A and B are shown apart, each in its own frame.
Chain A
């Protein structure tokens, strides 16, 4: 792969950011060059056992020109982790290289971005032909396990590969960040080592697997989230409309089935039902009128029995008027169901009252009702026989005494 001529700007302080131009493709933030306090403490402890380590710690200027061997594209997440006024300078740059302590701090702060163990291999040329290798790894959320190894510059490539592989073997699937001096990282053998490790050249392809890939995945995941959310929205809307519409259609279908054969009744809004119920009540009411004939038969039967049992009266029914609604007028504004006009023989005239009482009482008892005499009886004499025509009336709802 042909190398492009990258413009690299080394920045040791905030003031150096003024050097950044639109043409700057990579920025190396050299950082303070001082290891974190915790690392210094670790170094102090190790100083007693390892002279090289102690020397290394005591000469922080070694770090001053160190930079990560990965060119990290400027991303929003990375930007906000930097100071705002620094980030503002970097935002237009395509790539930036950060010093090891910045990247370590950044990694520590962005622990959640790393799903696996992280091995950080920082290697620097100490100027004496040796390359100190610093190895970090995460344990939980803490960046621990600081180790230091030293390899020869002459065998840096092969030794570095061994170290990286050994760390991978020890920690399993770990992501690796390498860093070193510009001179060292310019060596093709070192670059090849990282190339094999990362699958791409550290300077040429600014597409590290971590953590920028995760950020790019974030973009993808954001787009996927958008699509997912819009899909969910459409699904919810579609499902709601579809399900409810189907339920409503089913109810309407049930209605069509329910009204089958009675459409005209339904259209009249129940008026037909009400009318029909009144028809039923009406028919039940007029059916009870059939008792009128029975009443007439009772009256006729009573007259017949008068004739049979009170033989001297020779009672004759002249007329029998019957009202279906009990509205026959009578004496003293009373209304009756029937009025019968009878002719009876009374014998002697002084017996008229007794005869009439006998007939009226007899009929009343037979009918089970109280009967009224409606007119003053008039005695007719015919052939020497006194006859009386008189009217009696009654109501069937008045029980006789």
Chain B
């Protein structure tokens, strides 16, 4: 019995040593996992803070650009143009699509689609009775972030003043609910 006790003690010491060693290793593994999780948590906190900081942008984006799924016809596109708010009455029946393209900025697809329209063979023309009205229309278009134009020509004629764009484009939101 005593003979075996000696070896049992040694065995127990060995088990204790191994247990302490593997406990230490286990502790190390856990520490690595915990530190990784802490880093992930910190990253998540930063993302959340950034996301919350960008909330005004999210709101502005949603209010500035109409979702593309709600624009299924030229009639609805004309409504989105909303030029009647600037005192210009345009008939959707005279409009036609001049092209569609994705909007990207600094190489990043923004999730916007530009739908361009014309109402004359050579562009999009807005007739105004006087210069003041023409400038008001131009101001309205300029302040709309979802409308874009590259070039405009203001000209006068006997009928009044004309604003002529090569085309007038409406930017529509493609990525719905990504926020």
| Interface flag for A59 (CB, 8 Å) | no
Q: Are B151 and A219 in contact (CB under 8 A)?
A: no
Closest Cβ of chain A to B99, distance in Å, is 17
Of A34-42, A285-293, A349-357, A358-366, the one touching chain B: A285-293
Q: Are A229 and B58 in contact (CB under 8 A)?
A: no
The number of residues on chain B lying at the interface, defined by a beta carbon within 8 Å of a beta carbon of chain A, is 63
Closest Cβ of chain B to A236, distance in Å, is 5
| Interface flag for A173 (CB, 8 Å) | no
Given the known interface contacts A236-B20, A296-B135, A319-B153, the answer about A279 and B61 at a Cβ–Cβ threshold of 8 Å is yes
Chain B residues contacting A110 (CB-CB under 8 Å) are: none
Q: Are A233 and B148 in contact (CB under 8 A)?
A: no
Question: Which residues 3-30 of B have a CB within 8 angstroms of A?
Answer: 3, 5-6, 8-9, 12-13, 15-16, 18-20, 22-24, 26-27, 30
Partner of B16, one of A75, A229, A244: A229
Closest Cβ of chain A to B135, distance in Å, is 7
Question: Which residues 197-247 of A have a CB within 8 angstroms of B?
Answer: 219, 222-223, 225-226, 229-230, 232-234, 236-237, 240-241, 244-245, 247
Tell me the bound Cα distance from A297 to B38 in angstroms: 57
Closest Cβ of chain A to B173, distance in Å, is 10
Chain B residues contacting A232 (CB-CB under 8 Å) are: 16
Partner of B12, one of A226, A283, A322, A328: A226
| Binary contact track B120-158/A, C-beta < 8 Å → 1, others 0 | 000000000001000100110011010011111111100
Closest Cβ of chain A to B94, distance in Å, is 23
Q: Are B15 and A229 in contact (CB under 8 A)?
A: yes
Tell me the bound Cα distance from A300 to B155 in angstroms: 11
Tell me the bound Cα distance from A297 to B57 in angstroms: 30
Chain A residues contacting B131 (CB-CB under 8 Å) are: 300
Tell me the bound Cα distance from A371 to B179 in angstroms: 48
Given the known interface contacts A223-B5, A254-B41, A283-B60, the answer about A319 and B51 at a Cβ–Cβ threshold of 8 Å is no
Q: Are B31 and A286 in contact (CB under 8 A)?
A: no
Closest Cβ of chain A to B54, distance in Å, is 5
Partner of A259, one of B3, B44, B110: B44
Of A23-31, A143-151, A270-278, the one touching chain B: A270-278
Partner of A286, one of B27, B108, B148: B148
| Interface flag for A327 (CB, 8 Å) | yes
| Interface flag for A84 (CB, 8 Å) | no
Tell me the bound Cα distance from A261 to B179 in angstroms: 10
Closest Cβ of chain B to A186, distance in Å, is 32
| Interface flag for A76 (CB, 8 Å) | yes
Tell me the bound Cα distance from A323 to B154 in angstroms: 11
Q: Are B110 and A233 in contact (CB under 8 A)?
A: no
| Interface flag for A128 (CB, 8 Å) | no
Q: Are A251 and B41 in contact (CB under 8 A)?
A: yes
Closest Cβ of chain B to A245, distance in Å, is 7
Given the known interface contacts A258-B44, A262-B51, A319-B155, the answer about A281 and B37 at a Cβ–Cβ threshold of 8 Å is no
Partner of A277, one of B22, B54, B64: B54
Given the known interface contacts A233-B20, A278-B106, the answer about A255 and B37 at a Cβ–Cβ threshold of 8 Å is yes
Chain A residues contacting B1 (CB-CB under 8 Å) are: 219
Question: Which residues 35-75 of B have a CB within 8 angstroms of A?
Answer: 37-38, 40-41, 44-45, 47-48, 50-51, 54, 57-58, 60-61, 64
Given the known interface contacts A229-B16, A289-B142, A321-B153, the answer about A262 and B47 at a Cβ–Cβ threshold of 8 Å is yes
Chain B residues contacting A236 (CB-CB under 8 Å) are: 19-20, 23
Q: Are B44 and A290 in contact (CB under 8 A)?
A: no
| Interface flag for B102 (CB, 8 Å) | no
Tell me the bound Cα distance from A283 to B103 in angstroms: 12
| Interface flag for B84 (CB, 8 Å) | no
**A323: nearest residue on chain B (CB-CB)?**
B151
28 contacts between A and B (CB under 8 A): A219-B2, A223-B8, A229-B15, A233-B16, A234-B19, A237-B23, A240-B30, A244-B31, A248-B30, A255-B44, A262-B44, A262-B51, A270-B47, A272-B51, A273-B47, A273-B50, A275-B110, A276-B179, A280-B57, A282-B103, A283-B57, A283-B64, A286-B145, A289-B142, A317-B154, A319-B156, A322-B152, A324-B151
B contact residues vs A (CB 8 Å cutoff): 1-3, 5-6, 8-9, 12-13, 15-16, 18-20, 22-24, 26-27, 30-31, 33-34, 37-38, 40-41, 44-45, 47-48, 50-51, 54, 57-58, 60-61, 64, 103, 105-106, 108, 110-111, 131, 135, 138-139, 142-143, 145, 148-156, 178-179
Q: Which 8 A-B pairs have the closest CB atoms?
A: A244-B30, A233-B19, A251-B37, A258-B44, A319-B155, A282-B105, A240-B23, A321-B153
